[in-house]
Structure 1
Amino acid sequence: MPAMTEEALLLDDLSATGADFHRRGWSLATSSNFSVRVGDDPLELMITKSGKDKGRLGREDYVRVGVDGRPTESGAAKSSAETMLHVVLADAAGAGSVLHTHSVWDAATGERGLEAGGVEIAGYEMLKGLDGIATHDTAKWIDVFPNTQDIPRLAEEVRARLADPQRPMQHGFLIHRHGLYAWGADIAAARRHIEAFQYLFECEARRLAACS
């Protein structure tokens, strides 16, 4: 049997991640989308095809796209409607992988942060699950963007926040009543960021409910 290619192994890892997120209730029905960088010059991503059950992904459920967000092969199946968000995160943030979830905690946290444009979470040990954070004694700001069907415009808003010289966006962001986008240097880092955010969002939601 021939050895599997590196790209095939990456797709298998993404598919296993999708099955895990589906089991946890973070990527139900056909929600969510996942990508991994497979080329740098030019930039290329493998991203989930539109409308796929993320709990049952196989290697055939991904499409290769370029820096313009379009499939690199003629006649290829349609990729996720939110492909340009993945492209911008790979291009402007250097992401090796981007993962997007639709959990209850994503929706609850986004609801709370819409008016202020984000939410701040501080003091949790789990903050150390995010790259570059070495202590619980810190505060993390998570941007919340209004939901929209105009993905190209949203992608440019995300690009601008990534380039903010004062407080550039890192690790992840929320879309109101939609879900969480998180990224990392590779699939493992992006998955760790998703898991850390899900824990933090649930803790904050439960804390606020107990205090109300």
Structure 2
Amino acid sequence: MHREISELIEIGRLLHSRGWLPASGGNLSVRLEDERVLITASGSHKGHLTREDFVVVNLKGEVLEGSKKPSAETELHLLVYRVFPEVKSVLHVHSINSTLISRMAQEDIRLEGYELLKAFEGIKTHETSISVPVLENSQDMEELSKRIEKKLREEKVYGFLLRSHGLYTWGKSIREAYIRLEAFEFLFECELRLMPLA
């Protein structure tokens, strides 16, 4: 677990330095052995994480290790792990691009024709498109989880947006999740620049 904590601390600093995790926003997690999940604690500043800023929970959200409270959005991470057993890491950011595009989109976002779509597993050509669901945010995690799960099971997606909130994406490793995150950020910025000014 020491390696995973060190890697998430490094990722937290990097994401904060890029402006993607301001204040105490966002959360980072990794699946451990025995169906346990390591996740950042509630209120932790991701640019200044220490070992004490992590808790270990099971897939029901019960705290197994750590003295702090897990993020209020732990359930959304656990949902991704339950729906996709191959996923090893989930990253959630409050970046400007993901927050703005989630506010401007009237429906799910379709990213089409970009060379960088090849950053997503299984895509071999720019002549394709992917959908990024945009869901209304809610403080009711149970209700929100049900809506997200429905979307995740409807079609192949690599991440989702919560309106006025930010992006969730994942991968088979922390590195793959980070690569997807970086790809989404680039693609969202391209889409925002293409949008006419209101």
TM range (shorter): over 0.9
Is this contact kept in 1: 2:53–2:68, CA < 8 A? no
1:87 match: 78
Task: List per-residue Cα deviations over 1:88-122 (Å, max 9, x = no partner).
Answer: 10111122000000011001211122x32x11111
CA-atom RMSD in angstroms:
1.5
Q: Could you tell me the TM-score, scaled by structure 2's length?
A: 0.94
Partners of 1:102 and 1:19 in 2: CA distance: 14
Q: Please state if 1:149 is matched with 2:136.
A: no
Q: Please state if 1:58 is matched with 2:88.
A: no
Is this contact kept in 2: 1:93–1:162, CA < 8 A? no
Is this contact kept in 2: 1:36–1:96, CA < 8 A? yes
1:182 match: 169
1:70 match: 62
1:126 match: 116
Q: Find the residue that maps to 2:25 and give its secondary structure.
A: coil
Query: Which residue type is aligned with residue 69 of structure 1?
Result: G
Q: Could you tell me how far 1:9 is from its partner in structure 2?
A: 0.8
Q: Rg: which structure is higher?
A: 1
Q: Find the residue that maps to 1:39 and give its secondary structure.
A: coil
Q: Find the residue that maps to 1:200 and give its secondary structure.
A: helix
* Runs of 5+ unmatched residues, structure 2: none
Figure out how many residues of one structure are paired with residues of the other and give that number: 197
Partners of 2:33 and 2:153 in 1: CA distance: 22
- Identical columns (%): 39
The equivalent position to 2:14 in structure 1, one of 20, 33, 50, is: 20
Query: Which residue type is aligned with residue 185 of structure 1?
Result: K
The equivalent position to 2:191 in structure 1, one of 185, 200, 204, is: 204
Is this contact kept in 1: 2:9–2:50, CA < 8 A? yes
Is this contact kept in 2: 1:112–1:119, CA < 8 A? no
Task: List per-residue Cα deviations over 1:125-146 (Å, max 9, x = no partner).
Answer: 1111111111111111100010
Is this contact kept in 1: 2:135–2:161, CA < 8 A? yes
Q: Please state if 1:34 is matched with 2:48.
A: no
Q: Please state if 1:104 is matched with 2:96.
A: yes
Q: Could you tell me the TM-score, scaled by structure 1's length?
A: 0.88
Q: Could you tell me how far 1:8 is from its partner in structure 2?
A: 0.7
Q: Could you tell me how far 1:86 is from its partner in structure 2?
A: 0.5
Q: Could you tell me how far 1:58 is from its partner in structure 2?
A: 1.6
